[in-house]
Amino acid sequence: MKTVTLPGATTTTTAIGFGGSNLLGPRSRAEGRALLEAAFDAGIRHFDVARSYSSGDAESVVGDFLQSRRDQVTVTTKFGLQPPKLAGGLRPADRTGPTTHEALSGFA
């Protein structure tokens, strides 16, 4: 699988990544994990997920899956939208200081 160096960094990852926006959708957590395993087995080492995907559940499935593989992958995320089940429905993006701090807490 072709790899690329991330701009402004020395980190390399696969040129093709796995997007988790519809990881669960109509699928179960087990089916979502099977998709992640298939992607990893195919050589994909870049995974994209966000708190708002699948009402926050996709982030949990990806996190569980990558826990033992963390040193082998790169992960990207986005923030600003709350999952509907946490926010009572989608809200407009909020990238103010407090929201940004909450989204990034624990990633020091």
Known catalytic residues?
48, 53, 78
27 three-state secondary structure: coil
Contact between residue 17 and residue 44 where contact means Cβ atoms under 8 Å apart = yes
Buried/exposed code over 14-44 (b: 16+ C-beta within 10 A; e: otherwise)? beebbebeebbeeeebeebbebbeebbeeeb
